[in-house]
Structures are given as structure tokens and as C-alpha cells.
Amino acid sequence: MGVQEDIQRNDEGIATALGILTQAYGPRVETGLALREQHGHTTTWLRNQPPDAVIFPRSTEEVQGIVRICAAHKVPIIPFGTGTSLEGHVNAPAGGISLDFSQMDAILEVHAEDMDVVIQPGVTRKALNTYLRDTGLFFPIDPGADASLGGMAATRASGTCAVRYGTMKDNVLALKAVLPSGEILKTAARARKTSAGYDLTRLMVGSEGTLGIITELTLKLQGIPEATSAATCSFASLEDASNAVIACFQYGLPVARIELLNALQVRACNAYSKLSLPEAPLLLLEFHGSETGVTEQAELFGEIAADHGGTGFELTVKEEDRAKLWQARHDAYWAALQLRPGAKGISTDVCVPISRLAECVAAAEAKLDELGVMAPIVGHVGDGNFHALLLLDMDNPAEIEVAEGFIGWLNDLAISMDGTCTGEHGIGQGKAKYLERELGTGAMQVMGAIKRGIDPDNIFNPGKLALS
Amino acid sequence: MGVQEDIQRNDEGIATALGILTQAYGPRVETGLALREQHGHTTTWLRNQPPDAVIFPRSTEEVQGIVRICAAHKVPIIPFGTGTSLEGHVNAPAGGISLDFSQMDAILEVHAEDMDVVIQPGVTRKALNTYLRDTGLFFPIDPGADASLGGMAATRASGTCAVRYGTMKDNVLALKAVLPSGEILKTAARARKTSAGYDLTRLMVGSEGTLGIITELTLKLQGIPEATSAATCSFASLEDASNAVIACFQYGLPVARIELLNALQVRACNAYSKLSLPEAPLLLLEFHGSETGVTEQAELFGEIAADHGGTGFELTVKEEDRAKLWQARHDAYWAALQLRPGAKGISTDVCVPISRLAECVAAAEAKLDELGVMAPIVGHVGDGNFHALLLLDMDNPAEIEVAEGFIGWLNDLAISMDGTCTGEHGIGQGKAKYLERELGTGAMQVMGAIKRGIDPDNIFNPGKLALS
């Protein structure tokens, strides 16, 4: 946990800016410790580094005003959505102002014919989908938590549906952001496709608040499918399961979700969700399409699974049964925690080429066994991405040390397989030391040049992305 | 045509660098005028600005060597694929070296299980698909010309299949490029998904050679569909056709291609390809999927089309009939030229939200009529992108002036509809003056900061993308 040191604070600038901000925004500048700590990071094992104040802006103009004041005094600004990021993204290692977007949660325009929506960044994904229900449209990215869409864009989130619908990079059509200069950046028009200059939309998506403060998003929407089916199948080995996944893609089977649970995770889900699945690697799939299409697809999966030794294949079209299965998947985290009551769960996030997935998961399982660390595994296997949830006693430094060693080992293993240390959680503070190992000095040079060019005083979310 | 002025030449640096390059690479440094002019721009109406020399590198190391020599003497470098770009991308307004990648055309690795391929940038899309045929996989981006994949990446190309498979931004998994510093940039691992830092892959895709010289691409592949069907249908108006397209998406119909031909273009195709389609707006579709799926989909389209007054619906499953129809679409450019023998065709490229498409195309048709300019229209209507091909006598300055006026008017109209002046052709020299109008000063600031940060001496493709 040696990566989130405090960085040099500009105490004088912070004091001056806070005075001006308090005059300008009065009681909306909050400085209570509890609120500040809640805006430092709480979902990780990284140390909490609270900001000096939290402000709840209500408009793009207010964000511009705050940025200009902070820029004039070189004070850090850290954008905050719902605080569900996992790698210390919202920590304030140099202090400064946390901008909490919970009051900028308006849905501005729904363009049903264009299948897009314009929103403020504080809208959460569940709130958006509730709002959209009557339009027949939905937003497909589901990272598990009910995160804000601004935060999801900033961290390039994805989740279980990415195999069909892509990640945030594929579903943000355009955005507006306030730059460190206080100017507004509009990244793109609302057209579906553009070749107009550098792809600033994709540059901002995943930039973790280090280049601009997102104040508006235009998102692509999907039609709610006419029908949905689910299927489960158990396999003798991770390799068999993984080969079945590869075959699905080669057959062009348009899976909407394809999730792997390892044997330990199945055991946890059985206990927590009152299921009786065989304690063996399990694939859990969902199909979206027409009534006949989704049955046909699930049946084709059944045949593919059988070819790879799959057993206990079950096809579920009934909404109720399907919901139960997927609820169990969504509760996998809570189920896992029950394996070791009182433990905290710390998640890994490597992603490898799918041909290396079985080998990578099996190696992780063996290593965890060898180290005596309990860590059930779930995987977005269509993308080659999986999470081992390390169940740790946070008061035991020896355990933490072993866990850190394991995570480093796994990240390096994934990198050696031409994979990444992070498929969807981001770099933040927690993975800073792996970024250069993964991409090399050229990428670090380019990222540094971009950061310095846009934010020369390093006031936007400093200390993240290995940039300072 | 006032946007491609020469920019300041560094004659001394160019002479010195050429001397060193000739010593290092001998007869592969070509300086003949015909070859140099062929490497300036020939497919547009922009003036040809030839480079001082053309070099044919054979390896990444050679590219690094050439870049280091040019960088030391501040000499421009312009990467060249097949020269099929349309906005003066390969012109050399400040002279310098054209790097022709036709000898870097190796297919390095095919990963069938991962459905990706690693190639050198000089491989053309047809060569790649010929090579892949036996694997059951294909690369779906089809911009018409048999362009090099390096050039397609550099210009963020797309084409008729983008509605289903996306553009180059969606199909480049990772790339390597030589930076102005001579260092190698690796943008990403080979995993399907990543949250590891700024999205440098998407930054390089569409950067038109201004940030790095691409020397390796990792591309996503698709399974060759089990079956393909095609359908055509005529409509009384552009609006009816456009509403049918919108309905297709709302039904979730997974079209692989959906192209619009306006009445004038249909007339041209009838004459050129010996067809007898009604001279009215025509939609031409293709579906990819299972045997039953593609028939079902085409039939569903038939129903949707009928709801919108479509007539003469035809469904084609037979390979031979389908090929004839799509050949006619691919020959639309040649067919159009026959409408006015001796004329040159200059293409517009606006892209608007699909709800505004009919209005935009109809306005363009009316304006062309009013101006007396003959310009058939084809559209990738699933993306809201269409091309009017202006048929011009290039020796008539009055005609050119009218045409330039029209293009500016159309670009501004698209921008006023929250669309873009370029859906797939890029900015290059030709659209430089529209970029700031479309995106505003914030975007120009950011693009300028990125360019200066990575290429402070402005040696990579100077004078493009409105960056200098």
C-alpha cells in the first residue's frame, strides 16, 4: 500500500481559495470531517486522504467558477460521483476541493429517434433506466454498483454486458467538460460517427478526472430486447469452460452476458442465494433478441457446451427464474463475504486475451491455494476479464502483505500474457506502479505530455494514473 | 480552395536530412518528381504539394531511424498508405519526407481463438481478408477503396458496414507507433478491454499522422456469418426512407449494412449497372446471421418498409443476385461519373443525428438544384452519414467557386443540426476551417496542447487538422 503517499500540499493557496469559495458559495462549501472523509476513499484498502472541503455544484457555470478560483490558487479539484470506484480515484493526496455531482442529476434531453440521451454527470445508471423505461430504450452498461454516469465515464467502466454492448468508451457519444483553464470542452457533435479531429471523447473517457471535469454526457441507448433468456452450465475444468466461451464467439453467438464463477464462488452463491448448483466452474449466460431468437441461441449454447463436456445445462426463459439466477450473480460479492465473516473483500481486475484466460484463472487459483488466501473468482469471460475477491482481515498486516504480493504477481502474470492489470476498475492510486510495466515508457511519455499540456499546474485529480 | 497554402519550409534542414538519409538508405530514398507528385495528393481538388523525397521503410527500426534524423533537423514526415484519402492528408505543404508503407505489409500473427490479428500498416483490407479466408474470420471495415489498414486507422475510416461493426475506432485493439522523439509508443495490451490510463489507441486512430507514425496494428476480427441476405425497397420520399431506417433500429433489427441512394443516384446505377430500379429514394440492406435469422430479418424489414410506404420490396438470399446488387452500390461512384463524362467527382461527408437526416439530404438536394450542380447522393444512413458527389468541370473556376460555396453551406447546415462536417473522410487540409466552428475553442485548445506536447517541433504531417 505504498503508492498513495501524500503529495506536496499548497496550504496557502488552499486557504485563500477556500475563503473565496466560501464567500461565493456559502453553506454549500462543506468542511466537516465526516463528510470530507466520506469523500476520500472508502471502498478500497488504500488509506483515506480527505479533501479540505466538499462543494456540491448545481451547474456547469458553477463548476467553471470553482475551477477558475482553484486554478488561480493552484488548488487541487477532485470530481466525485457516488464514490464506488475501487482504486483510490477520489482520494485527495494533496488536499483540495472535492466536487460532489449529486446535485447535478438532471436528464436534459431524450432523443428517442436518435436513441441517445443528454444528461448531467450525477445521474446514476439505475435512475437513468428508471426514467427511460417508458421509451422502450435502456442504457446497457452495468458495473454492479449504482454508480453515477459521470464517474462511470471518468473511469471507463464496463461490467457484465460489455461483451455485447461494449464499455463506456463505446457508449458515450460526446461530452462536455470544464478544462483547467475554465473553458468548456465540447468533445464531439451528436452524430453517431465522426472523423473530426482527435477523438477527445475517448480521451476524456477513462481519464479519471485528470484532464477535465465532466459536466454533461450524451449517451447511446439500446432498444429493450423483445425477449431475454438465460442459460447455465457446469464444466469439469476452467479450460473446458473457457473453450466453450471461445467456441461461442467463433459461432457468432450474440451473447448479451457470459459470466464465469469458479467452484469456490459457486459454493458461496449456493449458500447465500439458496441454490444447489454443482460446485464446479459455472458459466451463466444471457441472450437478448426476438422470442424465437433467444431460445435458438440458448439451445445453440447448450450444444456448444455439451461439445466441451458441459453438464447440467439449463435454459431459462421465465422472467422469475432468470431473475433469480442473475440476482445470485449480482449478489456474488455479498455471498463471497459470507465465506469469511468480518473480512473485507479486495478485488483484482486483470484482463487477458481470451486464449490465455483459463491458464490465468487456474494459475491464480493455484497461487491463492499455495498462499492460503481465500478468494472466490467471478469473470466477465467474454472479455477475458476476471476478479478474484481476496477476503482479508484488514487488522492483520501479514495477511495484507501476502495479498499485496499476490496482486502484484497476478498483475505481472497478466501483463506477461499481453493482458492488462485493469480491465475495468482503472489505475487510480492502487495500480499506478503497474502502468509503465504494462505499456512502457513511450505511453508514459505521451500521457505525461497530454497531462502537462492540458493541466500544467496539475490541479485536476493529482496523484492518479501514475502521472505525478 | 484557399486552405492548403504552403507553410514555411525549412530548406536547410531538409537538404541536410536528405543527405544523411541518402547515405543511410541509398536507392530507397526516391526523389523523382513523378513519384513525389504521386505521393502528394491526387484524389481531391486540392493543389498537389509533393514531398521532397519518398522513402519505403521495411521495419519499425528503419522508421525510428528516419524519424530521428528528421527530428534532429526539424524536417516534416508524412506517412503514406495507398493515397486514397480525400482531404489532402498526404500533401506536403512544408515539404519533407513521405514515408510509403507499401513494403511494410506483413501479417505478423493471427490469433484465431482471440479473433484478432497483428499486422504491419501497409497491409490493405482486401489483402488481409484474402489471407484470413480459411480461418473463418474477416475484418469488416470497408471504406470502398482498397486502402491500407495503417491509413484507415490514421483517418478513422468506416464505410458501409459501420452500422453493424463500428468504425476503425472500434476495431483497432492496440497499435504501435513511432513518436517524434523516436521512441516507440505501445498504446494498449492485446486484451479485449482495458482501463489502463488514457485511451491512447483511440487518440492515435484518427490523428491523421500528426502524433505518431503507426508501425503495427492489432485488429479485432469477426466470424464470417453463416448466411447473408440482402433487401431493397423504394420510397416516395427521403423522409419515408429515413423513418423506415429509424424504425429498424427501434425494432432492434441487426442490419449489417443499410445504404440510401437518392433518385439521381438510382438513375446513374440503373444506367451503369444495367438495373431497372424505380427512380426514387432506395434503401439497400444486408443482413448477417444464421440461415433462418437472415431471412427473418429481411422479412421484418419488409414489414417495416411497408409501414412507411415502401414499394418494390425485394429479398435476395442467392449469392449471385446479392453480389450484383452490392456491386452496383460499390460502383455508385463510377456510375455517377457517367452522368457527366469528363467531370471530376468531389464528395461531401456530413453526418447528422439520424432524426435530422431526411431534412439534411432534402435540403442538400434542393440547394444543388437551385445552384444547378449535378450531384447524386449515397448515404450510410444507419449512421446519419451521406455523400453528395459533386460532378465538376475542374477547368471552370466559376463552377469550382459555386461548389466550394455549397460544401461550406452544407457543412454549416450539418453543424447547426448538431452533426459533423466529416463522418469518415477526416479533416486533413480540406475541412480545416470547419473544425473550430463544429467543436469550439475548448476542443481546439486541447488538440493544440496535445499536438505541441507530443510533437513540439510540428514535424509529423504539419498543416493538417487545423493544427498549424
CATH code: domain of residue A148: 3.30.465.10
Residue A446, classed as helix, strand or coil, is: helix
Whole-number mean pLDDT of chain B? Answer: 95
A275 min Cα distance to partner chain B (Å) = 31
Same domain, A113 and A219: yes
Q: Which residues, at least 6 apart from A424, have a Cβ–Cβ distance to it below 8 Å?
A: A143, A155, A156, A157, A158, A159, A162, A167, A349, A351, A380, A385, B193, B195
Closest Cβ–Cβ partner in B157, B194, B252 for A223 = B252
Per-residue pLDDT reduced to its tens digit, A272-297: 999 999 999 999 999 998 888 898 89
pLDDT of residue B7: 80
Same domain, A210 and A284: no
Write the DSSP assignment of A291-330 as a string of letters.
HHHHHHHHHHHHHHHHHTT-EEEEEE-SHHHHHHHHHHHH
pLDDT for residue B5 is more than 70? no
User: Is residue B294 situated within a structural domain?
Assistant: yes
For residue B90, give the nearest of B149, B121, B46 by alpha carbon: B46
**The C-alpha cell that represents A435 in the structure block:** 502502468
- Locate the chain B residue with the closest alpha carbon to A293: B293
Per-residue pLDDT reduced to its tens digit, B112-156: 999 999 999 999 999 999 999 999 999 999 999 999 999 999 999
Q: What is the largest CA-CA distance in chain A?
A: 70
CATH code: domain of residue A19: 3.30.43.10
Per-residue pLDDT reduced to its tens digit, B226-276: 899 999 999 999 999 999 999 999 888 989 999 999 999 999 999 999 999
- Locate the chain B residue with the closest alpha carbon to A452: B453
pLDDT of residue B6: 64
Same domain, A369 and A416: yes
For residue B110, give the nearest of B192, B224, B219, B226 by alpha carbon: B219
Say which DSSP state B313 is in.
E
Cβ contact (<8 Å) for A465 and B197? yes
Same domain, B59 and B164: no
Closest Cβ–Cβ partner in B158, B188, B207 for A193 = B158
Q: Please tell me the distance from the alpha carbon of residue B261 to that of residue B269, in angstroms, as a whole number.
A: 9
pLDDT for residue B2 is more than 60? no
Chain A positions touching B291 (Cβ under 8 A) are none
Cα B129 versus chain centre, distance? 18
Closest Cβ–Cβ partner in A169, A197, A290 for B439 = A197
pLDDT of residue B468: 62
User: Is residue A429 situated within a structural domain?
Assistant: yes
User: Is residue B73 situated within a structural domain?
Assistant: yes
Helices (H) and strands (E) counted in chain A, each on its own, are 17, 18
Cβ contact (<8 Å) for A423 and B191? yes
Torsion of Cα atoms, B124 then B130 then B134 then B137, to 10°: 50
Q: What length is written for chain B?
A: 468
pLDDT of residue B97: 98
pLDDT of residue A178: 98
Residues B83 and B41: beta-carbon distance below 8 Å: yes
| Percentage, residues of chain B above pLDDT 90 | 88
Say which DSSP state B134 is in.
G
pLDDT of residue A468: 62
pLDDT of residue A6: 64
Cβ contact (<8 Å) for A384 and B192? yes
**Adjacent-strand bridge partners of B116:** B111, B220
User: For residue A267, which phi and psi values (nearest 5 degrees)?
Assistant: -60, -45
pLDDT of residue B1: 40
Same domain, A216 and A124: yes
Same domain, A97 and A110: no
Confidence category of residue A3, pLDDT binned at 50, 70, 90? very low
Size of interface A-B (CB pairs under 8 A): 301
Residues A139 and A126: beta-carbon distance below 8 Å: no
CA dist B300 → B249, B293, B294, B306 (Å): 12, 10, 10, 10
Q: Please tell me the distance from the alpha carbon of residue A303 to that of residue A299, in angstroms, as a whole number.
A: 6
Residues A430 and A421: beta-carbon distance below 8 Å: no
CA dist B455 → B63, B273, B468 (Å): 16, 48, 12
**Helix pair angle (A397-416, A357-371), 10° resolution:** 160
The two beta strands, B77-80 and B97-100, are parallel
Residues B149 and B124: beta-carbon distance below 8 Å: yes
ipTM of the complex: 0.97
Say which DSSP state B350 is in.
-
Q: Please tell me the distance from the alpha carbon of residue A339 to that of residue A321, in angstroms, as a whole number.
A: 25
| A399-412 average pLDDT score | 97
First CA to last CA distance, chain A: 17
Residue B69, classed as helix, strand or coil, is: helix
Confidence category of residue A318, pLDDT binned at 50, 70, 90? confident
Q: Which residues, at least 6 apart from A59, have a Cβ–Cβ distance to it below 8 Å?
A: A104
- Does the pTM surpass 0.95? The reply is yes
CA dist B90 → A18, A316, B387 (Å): 51, 56, 21
Chain B positions touching A422 (Cβ under 8 A) are 194-196
Count structural domains, chain A.
Answer: 4
User: Containing domain of residue A232, as a range?
Assistant: 227-334
Q: Which residues, at least 6 apart from B421, have a Cβ–Cβ distance to it below 8 Å?
A: A196, B349, B350, B411, B414, B415, B431, B434, B435, B438
Cβ contact (<8 Å) for B191 and A252? no
**Neighbouring C-beta atoms of residue A5, cutoff 10 Å:** 10
Confidence category of residue B349, pLDDT binned at 50, 70, 90? very high
CA dist B371 → B198, B361, B366, B374 (Å): 47, 15, 9, 9
Q: Please tell me the distance from the alpha carbon of residue A400 to that of residue B286, in angstroms, as a whole number.
A: 56
**The C-alpha cell that represents B74 in the structure block:** 526539424
Q: Please tell me the distance from the alpha carbon of residue A167 to that of residue B254, in angstroms, as a whole number.
A: 19
Residue that finishes a domain, picked among B223, B249, B282: B223
**The C-alpha cell that represents A175 in the structure block:** 461530452
pLDDT of residue B437: 96
Q: Which residues, at least 6 apart from A34, have a Cβ–Cβ distance to it below 8 Å?
A: none
pLDDT for residue B44 is more than 90? no
CATH code: domain of residue A360: 3.30.70.2740
Residue that finishes a domain, picked among B302, B332, B362: B332
Same domain, B263 and B298: yes
Write the DSSP assignment of B440-453 as a string of letters.
-HHHHHHHHHHHHH
B32 min Cα distance to partner chain A (Å) = 32
User: Is residue A451 situated within a structural domain?
Assistant: no
Q: Which residues, at least 6 apart from A53, have a Cβ–Cβ distance to it below 8 Å?
A: A18, A21, A29, A30, A31, A36, A97, A98
| Percentage, residues of chain B above pLDDT 70 | 98
| A110-126 average pLDDT score | 98
Closest Cβ–Cβ partner in B181, B246, B382 for A445 = B181
Confidence category of residue A467, pLDDT binned at 50, 70, 90? confident
Q: Please tell me the distance from the alpha carbon of residue B145 to that of residue B86, in angstroms, as a whole number.
A: 11
Same domain, A68 and A173: no
pLDDT of residue A323: 86
CA dist B72 → A54, B16, B55, B67, B75 (Å): 49, 10, 17, 8, 8
pLDDT for residue B4 is more than 80? no
A200 min Cα distance to partner chain B (Å) = 7
**The C-alpha cell that represents B417 in the structure block:** 443540426
Q: Please tell me the distance from the alpha carbon of residue A121 to that of residue A106, in angstroms, as a whole number.
A: 8
User: Is residue B458 situated within a structural domain?
Assistant: no
| Percentage, residues of chain A above pLDDT 90 | 88
Amino acid at B329: R
Q: Which residues, at least 6 apart from B427, have a Cβ–Cβ distance to it below 8 Å?
A: A195, A196, A197, B87, B208, B434, B435, B464, B465, B466
Chain B positions touching A162 (Cβ under 8 A) are 193
Residue that finishes a domain, picked among A223, A247, A277: A223
Same domain, A342 and A330: no
User: Is residue B446 situated within a structural domain?
Assistant: no
Cβ contact (<8 Å) for B183 and A441? yes
For residue A242, give the nearest of A258, A266, A264 by alpha carbon: A258
Per-residue pLDDT reduced to its tens digit, A136-165: 999 999 999 999 999 999 999 999 999 999
| B81-98 average pLDDT score | 96
Residue A106, classed as helix, strand or coil, is: coil
pLDDT for residue B291 is more than 90? no
For residue A380, give the nearest of A354, A406, A362, A360 by alpha carbon: A354
Cβ contact (<8 Å) for A196 and B438? yes
Amino acid at B117: V
Q: Which residues, at least 6 apart from A32, have a Cβ–Cβ distance to it below 8 Å?
A: none
pLDDT of residue B3: 46
Say which DSSP state A58 is in.
-
- Locate the chain B residue with the closest alpha carbon to A179: B442
Cβ contact (<8 Å) for B353 and A193? no
Q: Please tell me the distance from the alpha carbon of residue B341 to that of residue B339, in angstroms, as a whole number.
A: 6
Closest Cβ–Cβ partner in A186, A384, A446 for B443 = A186
Same domain, A111 and A217: yes
CATH code: domain of residue A285: 3.30.70.3450
Residues B111 and B117: beta-carbon distance below 8 Å: yes
pLDDT of residue A1: 41
Same domain, A311 and A233: yes
The two beta strands, A53-55 and A97-100, are parallel
Looking up cell 486540392, which residue turns up?
Answer: B46
User: Is residue A237 situated within a structural domain?
Assistant: yes
- List % helix, strand, coil for chain B (3-state, nearest 5): 40, 20, 40
Q: Please tell me the distance from the alpha carbon of residue A165 to that of residue A255, in angstroms, as a whole number.
A: 10
User: For residue B313, which phi and psi values (nearest 5 degrees)?
Assistant: -60, 130
Write b or e for each residue in A313-333: b if 16 or more Cβ atoms lie within 10 A of its Cβ, otherwise e: bebbbeeeebeebbebbeebb
Q: Is residue B144 left, alpha or beta, with left meaning phi > 0 and alpha meaning psi from -120 to 50? A: left
Closest Cβ–Cβ partner in B114, B189, B352 for A420 = B189
Start-end of H helices in A106-228: 125-132, 149-154, 162-165, 168-171, 200-204
Confidence category of residue B322, pLDDT binned at 50, 70, 90? confident
Q: Please tell me the distance from the alpha carbon of residue A20 to that of residue A17, in angstroms, as a whole number.
A: 5
Same domain, A276 and A202: no
User: Is residue A147 situated within a structural domain?
Assistant: yes
